[in-house]
Structure 1
Amino acid sequence: MTDPESPTSEQVAALDGAVAELFDGATVKGWVAVQTEHFRNLLFAQQLGCWILFTWNDGTIEIEEDYPPYALVLDLLTDTFTDEDRGDLTVKWADAERRDDLWQRYGIHESPGHYMGLAGNPRKRS
């Protein structure tokens, strides 16, 4: 059964390679990049999941995995994201003109494990 509040697979697939800026008022607090990939769940059914990389303006990073029913993706698609440390942030998705530049800087260029290691390390991302 599909939750009517959940994004569709098509909506999630459209986020592959997307980057958004996260604002607190007029101040950019961070960036979020999304990479999608197909995987098989415990019942061996094919599903679309995604990795979501948060890069904060203080240099820290976090990477999260999201899959049906897409809790994080749903928040990001509502244009308001609540971070427990940073509060409510406005999500502004980059248009095609800025997307490539932002992806170069804040996109997912390594395996998710790489970013997990960086997130667990107190040193900031270079």
Structure 2
Amino acid sequence: MRYVYAAITNHTSWVGVVKLDLELANVGGGDCTVASRLYGPGCNGGEPFFVPREPNNPSADEDDGYLVTYVYDEDTQISKFLVMDAKSPTLDIVAAVRLPQRVPDGFHGLFVSEGDLAKL
């Protein structure tokens, strides 16, 4: 595994997400941050989760896919499901889906592929 996605915290909430390159960490031991996104003032997120663009393509780049999470905006009292481009250095938002009710801060998620569901 080369890339790790982690929440950015302000000690009380998850306020953004960061993409770390473990190969850079192993080479120099310095900053291995290659992408990040802050959600904005008053916004708190849930656990970021990587979803591959082509889960059945073994030759796809490890970071070819999407980073997904839930974000709650305390000012507007709106929760959204965010989909970000995992290859983008600013983790560009490609979709933001407004949710019908609040999702708690720090919500944990899990992506399960159709193939994994079929095994159940």
TM-score range, shorter chain: 0.3 to 0.5
Whose RCO is larger (CA < 8 A, sep 6+)? 1
When normalised by structure 1's length, the TM-score is 0.36
Considering fraction of residues, name the structure with more helix: 1
Considering fraction of residues, name the structure with more strand: 2
